[in-house]
């Protein structure tokens, strides 16, 4: 295993609806990115560029409208499954780092958003990379939030050890690491919440290159013990 570097990407301006996010990210990445980096992009700027804005007054209705199924309610908050299949608070509808009269919805298809950014980087910079669109989710039994991957392009979200042998020669039976979420989590540490760093590079992650989708991370209903 090699070292991993996590690098903040500076110089991303406030993103407006309709902005060419791929071009803007390329401008900021140009002197930094190298082949096989994973570029992690905060959901917030993807949603802003895609115009996924609703009036702040409609926040609660928007969370319900964005939900495929509501799992729990607690005060003002709902825990629901989004139309993508992600289980999170308020269907990902979020007010932080957004103009005061607006809230943001998740991108309609974050995998597609990731693929578009990846395409722009390959086309403009000639650099093959992975892309993660990352959002900040809570967890059922652990306090605090961590970043997870809601969109992926260019690599398999999992490192699958099933069938491989451990150091004792015993077959690993149940270990499949969601490296995409670990990449998102690592990137969060340089992105912060009050700073203007919505993009980071994770260099050296042990990913399998190729097609990948964050939808593949969603646990199928039939295997869900906590619904």
Q: Which is nearer to its own copies, 84 or 116 (CB)?
A: 84
Token pair of 33, please?
């990115």
8 A C-beta contact, residue 50 and residue 107: yes
Q: Which is nearer to its own copies, 113 or 147 (CB)?
A: 147
CA dist 63 to 7, 78, 103, Å?
A: 33, 8, 10
Q: Please state the closest distance from residue 211 (CB atom) to its own copies, in A.
A: 16
CA distance 192 to 199: 10
Q: Please state the closest distance from residue 76 (CB atom) to its own copies, in A.
A: 10
CA distance 9 to 20: 17
Element (H, E) at 99: none
β 37-42/199-203 pair status: antiparallel
Q: Please state the closest distance from residue 65 (CB atom) to its own copies, in A.
A: 20
Q: Please state the closest distance from residue 122 (CB atom) to its own copies, in A.
A: 24
Q: Which is nearer to its own copies, 53 or 124 (CB)?
A: 53
Which residue's entry shows tokens 């980096």?
A: 37
Q: Which is nearer to its own copies, 35 or 225 (CB)?
A: 225
């Amino acid at each position: 295993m090699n070292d991993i570097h996590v690098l903040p990407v500076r110089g991303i301006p406030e993103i407006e609806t309709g902005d060419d996010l791929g071009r803007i990210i390329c401008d900021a990445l140009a002197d930094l990115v190298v082949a096989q980096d994973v570029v992690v992009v905060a959901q917030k700027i993807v949603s802003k560029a895609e115009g996924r804005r609703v009036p702040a007054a409609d926040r609660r209705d928007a969370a319900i409208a964005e939900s495929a199924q509501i799992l729990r309610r607690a005060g003002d908050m709902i825990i629901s499954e989004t139309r993508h299949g992600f289980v999170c608070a308020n269907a990902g509808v979020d007010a932080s780092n957004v103009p005061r009269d607006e809230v943001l919805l998740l991108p309609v298809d974050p995998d597609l958003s990731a693929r578009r950014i990846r395409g722009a980087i390959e086309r403009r910079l000639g650099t093959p990379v992975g892309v993660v669109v990352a959002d900040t989710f809570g967890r059922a039994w652990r306090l605090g939030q961590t970043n997870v991957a809601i969109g992926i392009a260019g690599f398999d979200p999992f490192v699958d050890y099933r069938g491989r042998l451990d150091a004792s020669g015993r077959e690993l039976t149940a270990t499949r690491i969601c490296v995409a979420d670990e990449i998102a989590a690592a990137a969060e540490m340089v992105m912060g919440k009050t700073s203007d760093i919505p993009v980071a590079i994770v260099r050296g992650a042990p990913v399998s290159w190729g097609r990948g989708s964050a939808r593949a991370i969603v646990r199928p209903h039939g295997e869900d013990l906590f619904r």
